[in-house]
Amino acid sequence: KARKMNDTISASSRGYDFSRSHLYPGTNATSSTLSASIMDPAAFELYIKLKSIAKKYKLESKLQIPQLVIVGETSVGKSMLVQYFLRFPCSFSQAKIATRCPVAYCLRYNSQLNDGEIKIIKPIGTTPQTLAQHLADYMKGIEMTDKFRLEPYTIELESNAYSDFEILDIPGLVGGDKDEHHRKAVERITEAYVRNQNFMIVQLREAQQSLVNANGMRRIHELCTDDPANYDRSLQPRPDYLHHTVTIQTKFNLFMLENTNGKDANNLIKAMKDEYEHKTYFTNMIFDGYTMSDHSFEENVEYIARLPELEKKRVNEWIMDLNRAATEQPRNYDIFNQENRPLIGIDIVRTKIQELWIKAIRSALPHLKKAIYEQLSDARQRRIVALNELKQQDPETIKKYYINYINDFSDVFTSYINAKSETDIAFKYDKCSKTYADIESEYKHWKRRIPHTWRAYLSYNDMKHLFTNIEEYGEILDTLDRPLAGARHFHRLEQVFKAMIYTFKPRELTRGEIETAESHIAHSISTGENLEKAIRELVRSLIRDTFLIGICWLTQMYTFLSESLYKDVKNYFLYTANQYPQLQTHFRFLHCMELSYHKIVRKGIQESLQLIKLTRNATTSYVTHDLTAIIKKLAFSIPAEIKHKEFNQSSTRMMAFNNDQDVQGNNQEITTDSFGHLSPIKIQNHLYASESYLTSDRNPQTANHHNHGRNVILEMYSAVRGILIYTIIAAFDTNLVIKLHEYNTIQPDIKSLYGRLMRMSDQQIAKMADVKFDEIQKKLDNIEAEIIDLEKVLFNIDTLMEPSNFVENISAGNSDNPSYNLEELDNAKKQQFKKERKIMEKKLTKLRTTDNETTVSKEEGNESDGDHNEEYEDYETQLIKSRIEIEANQLLTHIYETEDSQDMEAAFLKGDSLHADGHEPKTQRHLGLVADRTSDDTIAIPRSTLSTSASILSRPRTTRSTLDENEKALCIQEAPVPSDQPDTSLQGS
């Protein structure tokens, strides 16, 4: 016996031919027709190409390629049906090993193979004789690891007896299994496939089983139609699944044994046809109790090959018996309905299953054509973009883009921040505008935010709760909820800042605190009380309580708003098709652009903070000598008589008080009359400069004037507060906001990014732009390959959709000419692509060679420069030399952290601290170290060398933030803050 054992099986010497096994059993001429009807190599070739493209380009969900899946209960005959298609035994159920994943059998017609020869392409090294054991081992491996898998395991086979076909066999339902996990796992796999619209369903049931006992069919129906799905709720129900289903009634040999009356057989078959929409067929599995495990592989192959003839013989004998019984007993028996005969037989079942698949493929052609055409259009557009990217690798073009970007950014940014009509389309108001609540929420998640606690801070919710009286607080609530855009955010921020300051109540001054502050030794002679000094110290302290951390918060808010405006315009340029989307990957330039903007913003902030610092120091250092004199002069500058007519107006709300009685002139009081009710001496008594603090005005019993001094301190505090608020707002408006309003008027100098770009060579520009010549070439190669693949598939679809080809029979010979045409089209398309890229690639290749030579010469020159390479490089140079985007991001983050930390303390005076408003500031921790001041020598003071202290001070802000964790934890434990402002909410009452 000649038999190939490596990867094929040959049965020609056995006296039977596999190529005949797909023929319809019988002697009539319909057998050849049925054979031809399932031979559709063009459709299968398209199917294979579609699957390859879907996997290669990740288009599975878009293409929706029709496939077949076999479902049913276990032991219903699914494995035997698969073996009929394969024509050799491959079942491993005899070894009591359950199927743990779907198995996809891909059968391919190969005319080059010998008759009866079957070759397994995948998995490599597997033969038909070893396939069953291979599958058993694979299922054991899944059982030991994943238990079950949803992804199919693919088997590819070739034979000249095969029709091009693919079918998916999934684990059988086990409704009676006591293992709930096993039962549900199988149902979960079944549900995933039967609810997928791409799958045509082949459901199996035993023919002799009563319809009311068809539990497997009922469960499949539920898995298809239940809403929501039993396992994967994302799967949509499939109520029309029977329109895409063929039902195979297996074990028809048992049906024949149970039904010897033609009338009963006809009625049962009719009932099953009605139940399954007349798309049901019948087949036998095994005759005469044949058991494959008791026979050799060759004997089983021969049995499967001869089974169609054996089945035909037994069915015909059964029909003859039914008809004979009907003739002998006409009253009780009917002859067999011959219309049902074409529904019975394994070859008919195989044909109908394949016809179902071919019909689904052809029905899907319009949809597939549309999907392929859309993908092809997308690929062509991506190629145009890639070609533009290739052209944009030219340094001259890149420099031009950079310069134009800088100029256009200045113009658009200025228009946007000034809310000019030129930009109201790109920055539509209702999409760009934000309320204060939006701003506060974004600020909380801002990466550059430095945690701090400000006692006067009010969150949005705090202000909504507090500012309910319109007469007292005006329209601040409307301002908070009003959507604004552009520079108007700065104006609202100023209003919010003023509202926080004016509603904050400074701490109550105690007598002891005032006495402590007024202690003074005058000219080394007297240690008497000095209220003038106390007022100076306490006003300075109260102003610091109110403004110190508030200025830090305001600095961060101005920085945050400035950055937000920048990012709005940046996103417009990078993500608008007709702007600069090609610069999205130019991270070095974009980071340098961001740094350039940051320098302008920071310069304005630093100038503002310097002015605020000097003003706070001046207004609190000389408050008693300067401010009170101004107020005194202003008070006494009020004339005794006012003759201006504008004051001769009645006031409905002006009240005059005289001897504790309210006097109202029935709306006849005029403005000038009000001064007649005020006593001049009372005005002077409330002025610190009126000398009311002299000894004659002291309390005769206590000889002090603390109550009067406390009032004067609050008056001075209020006056300085007003001056500081004005100065702070004016400083930021003058030095920052106005500059942003006039951003396009800022002239670039030689040190600016614009000036730097103008001085850079083509090689430097190419390095800065990180020219991706090889990557874009590879990208173009992939896109062009995709275009060619898609055009091939589109050509195949058009060929199949032509009326002349839309028939059931397409011979393999007809496909030679289209293949030849496709090959010519492929070559022509490749030549076209090559010509379009040739000129640009030649220019860039020359540039790359020049760049390499320049780099080598620079490296040789640098080696002789000695320590010259170690000179300090500015931040912009470091960004340009960064290798990857992450490195540039980290550098920019380090710049922000360092400079933001410096800006937070830029307005600090001597003795100020960022943690001044915390529950327990660091500067006060030493007070808790010494409980018994008589035993200082027993206290263990932590050692710290000068070098260690210096290193701590020189660390970047990230390290300092780490050092602040102890204080932060302490604040959380002892003084919890409101949830809507976790680190800036410690308010005065």
Beta strands in 326-462 (DSSP E): none
Q: What confidence score (pLDDT) does residue 420 get?
A: 93
Residues contacting 657, CB < 8 A, separation 6+: 663, 677
Residue 296: CA atoms inside 13 Å, Cβ hemisphere, count? 3
| 340 and 447 housed in the same domain | no
Q: In angstroms, what is the C-alpha Rg of the chain?
A: 46
Pairing of strands 8-9, 165-169: unpaired
In a domain? residue 531: yes
> What's the pLDDT at 708?
57
What is the secondary structure of 222-251 as a DSSP string? HHHH-SS-SS-TTSPP-TTGGGGEEEEEE-
**Domain match, 446 and 346 both:** no
Q: Which two tokens stand for residue 233?
A: 């709720």
Please tell me the total count of domains within the chain: 2
Provide the angle, in degrees to the nearest 10, between the axes of the packed helices 395-417 and 762-769. Answer: 60
Predicted TM-score (pTM) of this structure: 0.54
Q: Under a CB-based contact definition with an 8 Å cutoff, are residues 875 and 891 in contact?
A: yes
DSSP 8-state symbol, 122: E
Question: Is residue 180 in some structural domain?
Answer: yes
Cis-peptide into 25, omega within 30 deg: no
Task: Tell me what pLDDT residue 130 has.
Answer: 92
Give the C-alpha separation, 32 to 39, whole Å.
Answer: 11
* CA gap 916, 908 in Å, rounded: 11
Same domain, 591 and 505: yes
Within this chain, do residues 449 and 329 fall inside the same structural domain, yes or no?
Answer: no
CB-facing half-sphere around the CA of 332: CA atoms within 13 A = 5
Domain membership of residue 316 as a residue range: 64-363
Q: Do 574 and 435 fall within a single domain? A: yes
Phi, psi dihedral angles at 70 (to 5 degrees)? -95, 125
* Statement to judge: residues 99 and 188 lie in one domain: yes
Could you tell me if residue 542 is inside a domain? yes
59, 65, 374, 822, 847 from 369: Cα distances, Å: 13, 11, 9, 17, 43
Is residue 765 one of the residues assigned to a domain?
no
**Cα gap 388→382, rounded to integer Å:** 10
Residue 591: burial class (beta carbons within 10 Å; 0-12, 13-18, 19+): buried
pLDDT the model gives residue 28: 37
CATH assignment of the domain containing 110: 3.40.50.300
Helical spans, DSSP H, in 38-152:
41-56, 60-63, 78-86, 131-144
Residues of the chain with pLDDT under 50: 1-7, 10-37, 523-526, 625, 661-668, 678, 680-695, 701, 703, 807-817, 849-872, 933, 939, 944-989
Q: How far apart are CA 385 and CA 388, in angstroms?
A: 5
Nearest CA among 397, 353, 307 for reference residue 167 = 353
Residue 44 within a domain? no
Is residue 466 domain-shared with residue 337, that is, in the same domain? no
Distances (CA, A) of 702 to 146, 510, 699, 790: 91, 16, 5, 102
Q: Which of 722, 755, 788 is the last residue of a domain?
A: 755
Domain boundary among 313, 338, 363: 363
**Cα–Cα distance measured from residue 139 to residue 148, given in angstroms and rounded to the nearest whole number:** 9
The reply to whether 207 falls in a domain is yes
Last residue of a domain, one of 729, 755, 781: 755
What are the residues facing 694 on neighbouring strands?
none
In contact, 367 and 61? CB cutoff 8 Å: no
DSSP label of 154: E
- Classify residue 861: in a domain, yes or no: no
349 lies in the same domain as 439:
no
Residue 160 lies in a domain: yes
Calpha distance 355→163 (Å, rounded): 11
Determine the Cα angle at 894 with ends 892 and 897, to 5°.
110
Q: Taking a C-beta distance cutoff of 8 angstroms, is the pair 643, 743 a contact? A: no
Contact 152, 103 (CB under 8 A): yes
Burial zone of 80 (CB within 10 Å; 0-12 exposed, 13-18 middle, 19+ buried): buried
Distances in Å between the Cα of 2 and the Cα atoms of 7, 10, 47, 110, 299 are 14, 8, 36, 21, 15
Relative to beta strand 103-109, strand 165-169 is: antiparallel
pLDDT of residue 942: 52
| C-beta atoms surrounding 928 within 10 Å | 8
Give CA–CA dist 22/32, Å, rounded. Answer: 10
Same domain, 344 and 450: no
Same domain, residue pair 358 and 439: no
Tokens (6 digits) for 849: 């060679």
* Phi, psi dihedral angles at 901 (to 5 degrees): -65, -40
- Are 793 and 46 in contact by the 8 Å Cβ rule? The answer is yes
What is the rounded distance in angstroms from the CA atom of residue 604 to the CA atom of residue 331?
Answer: 111
Nearest Cα to Cα of residue 604 among 739, 475, 438, 763: 739
Select from 104, 173, 189, 100 the least CA-distant residue to 143: 100
- Say if residue 506 is preceded by a cis peptide, omega within 30 of 0: no
pLDDT at 529: 62
Residue 687 CA, distance from chain mean position? 64
The span from the first CA to the last CA of the chain, in angstroms, equals 105
Beta strands (DSSP E) in 73-214 are: 103-109, 118-122, 153-159, 165-169, 199-206
Task: Based on the fold, state whether residues 357 and 444 are members of the same structural domain.
Answer: no
**DSSP letters of 251-295?**
-HHHHHHH---HHHHHHHHHHHHHHTTT-EEE----STT--GGGS
Alpha carbon distance 433, 486 (integer Å): 8
Amino acid code (one letter) for 815: S
Q: Are residues 152 and 240 in the same domain?
A: yes
- Interatomic CA distance for residues 167 and 106, integer angstroms: 7
In terms of Cα–Cα distance, which of 26, 83, 11 is closest to 304? 83
Q: Which distant-in-sequence residues (6+ apart) come within 8 Å of 291 by Cβ?
A: none
State how beta strands 103-109 and 199-206 pair.
unpaired
Helix ranges restricted to H, 445-530: 460-466, 470-473, 476-481, 488-503, 511-518
Distance CA 119, CA 113 (A): 8
SS3 622: coil
Cα distance between residue 322 and residue 891, in whole Å: 91
Strands of the 199-206 sheet, one edge to the other: 8-9, 118-122, 153-159, 103-109, 165-169, 67-72, 199-206, 245-250, 280-282
